[in-house]
Amino acid sequence: MKLFIMITNVQYVVDNSGNKISVILPFIEWEKLNSEYQKLQNKMEIMLGIQNSIAEIKEAKKTGIKLQTLTDFLNESRS
């Protein structure tokens, strides 16, 4: 997934020392950024699920625990 969003008209709110403390941007830009963020969050959730599944499989192989087969899982989900 390529993430490239051109943001224009960004304004900064600064404190008395000139430190940036907030950002103001057009709402449409916020919606684009938020949409991309949600997509990345979903992708990360899927990737972490896969990573956890692989770790579970490795542990099961190491300890000899029998895991549910894909066929059994699919049959179970159909009932």
Ordered DSSP codes for 17-76: TS-EEEEE--HHHHHHHHHHHHHHHHHHHHHHHHHHHHHHHHHHHHHTPPPPPHHHHHHH
Kindly state whether residue 55 falls inside one of the protein's structural domains.
no
Kindly state whether residue 54 falls inside one of the protein's structural domains.
no
pTM value? 0.62
Kindly state whether residue 69 falls inside one of the protein's structural domains.
no
Domain count, the chain: 1
Q: What is the mean pLDDT of residues 14-18?
A: 97
Question: Would you state the pLDDT for residue 6?
Answer: 67
Question: Would you state the pLDDT for residue 70?
Answer: 87
Range of the domain at 28: 1-37
Question: Residue 49 above 80 pLDDT?
Answer: yes
CB 23 within 8 A of CB 10: yes
